[in-house]
Amino acid sequence: MKLPKTAHTDLPWRIHEVAPDFTLYDVWALPTPGGPDDFPRLVRQVAGGDTADNPSWIARILFKIRWKLGELFGWDDPDSGVGSRVPRLLDRLPADLRDGPQGPELDKLPFTTVYLTDNEWAAEMANRTVHAVMHLSWVPDDDGGYRGQMAVLVKPNGLFGRAYMAAIAPFRHLIVYPPLMQGIAREWQASSAPAGTPLARARSSSKSATSTAN
C-alpha cells in the first residue's frame, strides 16, 4: 500500500542525514507482518530478490524492455554507476554507520548496500537517468506488531532524468508495484510456514524454478 510521505519523513531515520539532497519519491507499506526482531528476515528476502520474480508478466516484460533500452542507449554502462558518475553514499556515512555493518550484497538487483542498523537498511544504485536509494525500515503496525516499510529516494540526472522519472511513474504505480507487493507477501508467508507444509513446499518449488530459469 502506498503511504503518505510523512510516514517516512516523520521518523528519525539515519538516511535523513546521509542523503538530505535526495528527493523522497514514494513510500510503501510492505505486507510483512512480524515481531520486533524480524527485520533481518525482511532484509534477506529483499536482498535475494530479482526483477524476474515479479508475479506480473506485464511487469517482467517492462523490465526486459528497460534493460534492452539501457543496453541500446548506454544508460547502464559501468561509467554511469555509483563511484563513477556519482560519488558513493558510503563515503558520506558518519563514523558509527561507516564502522557498522553495511548489510548484504544484492546479486540480482542493480543496488549496492550502504548501511544496516537494527531497523534500517539502505542500498543505492545509479545510471544515466538517476541516482536512487532504496530504504527499508521496520515499523510498528496498527495491530500491535511490526511490518516493513520501503521508501525510494531519488536524485534525477538533469532534465533527462526528471523526464524519465515522470514517464515511468504510471507504470511503477499501476503495473510494477501492486504485483510486486503480492509477491513479497506470498514469499513472506511462505518463509513463515513450517517446513513440509504446502505453502513452504510451494516456496521451495518457486525458488527452484527461478534458479533454473536464470
| Domain edges within the chain | 2-213
pLDDT of residue 16: 98
Say if CB 156 and CB 128 are below 8 A apart: no
Confidence of residue 209 (pLDDT cuts 50, 70, 90): very low
Nearest to 115 by CA among 138, 94, 140, 86: 94
In this predicted structure, what is the pLDDT of residue 71?
79
Q: What is the pLDDT of residues 67-79, one digit of tens each?
A: 788 778 778 888 8
d(CA 123, CA 112): 5
Question: What is the Cα–Cα distance from 139 to 147, expressed in whole angstroms?
Answer: 6
pLDDT over 50 (residue 211):
no
Considering Cα of 172, then 126, then 188, then 117, what sign does the dihedral take?
A: negative
pTM: predicted TM-score of the whole model, two decimal places:
0.84
pLDDT value at position 172?
87
Tens digit of pLDDT for each residue in 85-142?
899 999 999 999 999 998 999 888 889 999 999 999 999 999 999 999 999 999 999 9
53 vs 48, more confident: 48
Mean of all residue pLDDT scores within the chain: 86
Model confidence over 180-200: pLDDT tens digits?
899 999 999 998 866 455 444
Is 173's pLDDT higher than 60?
A: yes
Give the pLDDT confidence score for residue 212 in this predicted structure. Answer: 29
Q: Does residue 25 or residue 179 have the better pLDDT?
A: 25
Judged against a pLDDT cut of 80, whether residue 57 lies above it is answered with no
- pLDDT given at position 201: 46
Q: What integer pLDDT is reported at residue 23 of this predicted model?
A: 96
- Per-residue model confidence as pLDDT tens digits over 14-45: 999 999 999 999 999 999 999 999 999 999 99
Question: Which pLDDT band, with edges at 50, 70 and 90, does 60 fall under?
Answer: confident
Distance between CA 29 and CA 210 in Å, rounded? Answer: 26
